[in-house]
Amino acid sequence: MKRIAVYCGSATPADPVYIACARDVGRSFAERGIGVVYGGGRLGLMGAVADACLEAGGEVIGVIPQALVRAEVAHRDLTELHVVETMHERKARFTELSDGFLTIPGGTGTMDELWEAMSWAQLGYHAKPVALLNVAGFYDGLIEFVAKMGQVGFLRPQHQGILLTDDDLPRLIERMATFEPTVPIIRMQREDL
């Protein structure tokens, strides 16, 4: 994998474990020769991922809507900064530029990005790995919810492995690198739906 989109928050929580996680992701990607594609901001976990990757000599590509550039949150010291008009364009550009998606802690915007990456994988709009780094148990409830979707029948058995989860970053990166996509909905037979 040459580049991975990192979805995370622009906030800085009081607990330093979250910023430490973001810095570890940025540094680890640079050390492995994996570029970061992210939301283009300089604040919170987003800024920490970018800065750590850059400090370690890595490539960082930001994708940010014009409205957020005007709000002065754009990170100006990146390898590349793509300015787009809408959030939809931003997420489409993430998909174009990345070989996979890694979600670390964040809020509603992070969840929007994660769910869209999962949905597009399930439908067949991409065949890239979608991963969730469960730092300090932050995503325990979400992981349980995804399992519940499968148990109830809203997530087909063949799609229950779309979301790769782990609390260990090196192991998760390895799982992303060896990911085998499942049969997407657009290639399924009517009786399988």
Question: In CATH, what number is assigned to the domain containing residue 66?
Answer: 3.40.50.450
- How far are the Cα atoms of 11, 89, 158 from residue 99, in angstroms, in the given order? 26, 17, 21
Transcribe 34-48 into DSSP letters: PEEEE--B-SHHHHH
Domain that holds residue 29: 3-192
How many domains does the chain contain in total? 1
What pTM was estimated for this model as a whole? 0.94
β-strand partners of 100: none
70 pLDDT above the threshold of 80: no
Q: What is the pLDDT of residues 139-170, one digit of tens each?
A: 999 999 999 999 999 988 888 899 999 999 99
Q: Give residue-wise pLDDT tens across range 31-60.
A: 999 999 999 999 999 999 999 999 999 999
